Amino acid sequence: MRLKIEARAVSLYYISLEFFPEDVPGDFYFLVFKGETEEGPWVRLTPELLDSNEYLDHTSNLRHLDRLFYYKVQAVDENSQVLVESTPQTLASIPSQVGIEIARRLRNYLDSRGGRRCIIYRTRRSGARCSCLDRELQAKTKSVCPICYGTGWQGGYYTGIVTPTIFRESSNVELETGTGGTVSPQNASIILPNYPLLHPGDLIVDEQGRRWKVNSVSHKYLRGFLTSQDAQLVLIIPGDPEYLFESMSYRDTGWLYDPKSDITS
C-alpha cells in the first residue's frame, strides 16, 4: 500500500492537498495533519473522517514565504485505524505572486459579475470497487449501474463543490434515444477558476439540473502556478449511466472556498 500527496497553492490563504492512494483495500477515509517541520509536531486539520481525495487548508498565509508548512495524510478505516501514511510534503515550489493575483481577479470577477454557478463532482478513483465490476475479467457486468454510475467505484463521485464559471454551450442535430423520443445532444465549453482541480470524467451539474461530463481539460499556468481551467463538456442524456446520479441542491453544498477572503493590498 502507498499513499502520495501533492500540495499546491490556490491563493495567498488556501492550499489544496490531493491524495493518491495505491492498493489500499476496501472502504477507507483520510485524516490530514499539518506541521512546521518534516518531523512535526503535527496538528490534525480534519475533525472528522474525510471522504474525499482532496482537502483545502485555509490556515496558511503565503505572504510569509519564509514559513513553509508540511502536511501528511493517513488513510484509515471507519474505526480510525491507520492503514497507510504518506511521507510529509510541502509546496513543490514558491507560487508566483502575479499568478495568484490573476487567479484572484478571475474568481472575484465571476463571483461579482454573475458567473454561472455549477456543482463540480470529482470522480472517485479509489476505495471500494463496485459489485458491477468482474474482478477476474476487470470488466463491467452492467452497462448502466445505479451504484457507481459507470465509474467502477462505489458512490461514483465525491461531495460536490460549487464554483462560478463562464459557460458556453452549442447544440447539435437531434438523435433518437431508443425509447421513442429524441434529444439534442450538446457540447459545452467552460472556464472556471483554479479550484477545484478538474479531471476528464468528472461530473458537472448546472443551475438547470443538467448533467455534463468533462471530456477534456486544459490547465492554464503562469510560472508554474495554476491560474484557470478550460474544459470541454458533453451533455449526459437518458440512457447514460451518469444520468442516474442524483445531484445535491446548491444550498446543501455551499462554498468551500471564499473568494472575498483573497483581498490584496
Per-residue pLDDT reduced to its tens digit, 4-23: 999 999 998 899 999 999 98
With contact defined as beta carbons under 8 Å apart, do 158 and 122 qualify? yes
Output the pLDDT for position 171: 62
User: In what side-by-side order are the strands of the sheet with 54-57?
Assistant: 2-9, 15-22, 54-57
Nearest Cα to 116, choosing from 154, 73, 70, 162? 162
Nearest Cα to 192, choosing from 224, 214, 171? 214
Cis, bond preceding 41 (omega within 30 deg of 0): yes
Distances (CA, A) of 40 to 18, 54, 89: 20, 21, 12
Output the pLDDT for position 184: 58
The full set of domains in the chain, from first to last, is 2-95 (2.60.40.10), 100-122+157-261 (2.40.10)
**Residue 177 scores a pLDDT above 70:** no
Q: What distance in Å separates the CA atoms of residue 231 and residue 190, rounded to the nearest whole number?
A: 5
Per-residue pLDDT reduced to its tens digit, 53-109: 999 999 888 876 666 789 999 999 999 999 999 999 998 778 888 999 999 999 999
Per-residue pLDDT reduced to its tens digit, 99-157: 999 999 999 999 888 789 999 999 998 888 888 877 666 666 677 899 999 998 999 99
Per-residue pLDDT reduced to its tens digit, 228-259: 999 999 999 988 999 999 887 665 654 444 44
Q: What distance in Å separates the CA atoms of residue 245 and residue 228, rounded to the nearest whole number?
A: 27
Output the pLDDT for position 170: 80
Cis, bond preceding 196 (omega within 30 deg of 0): yes
Output the pLDDT for position 265: 30
With contact defined as beta carbons under 8 Å apart, do 119 and 250 qualify? yes
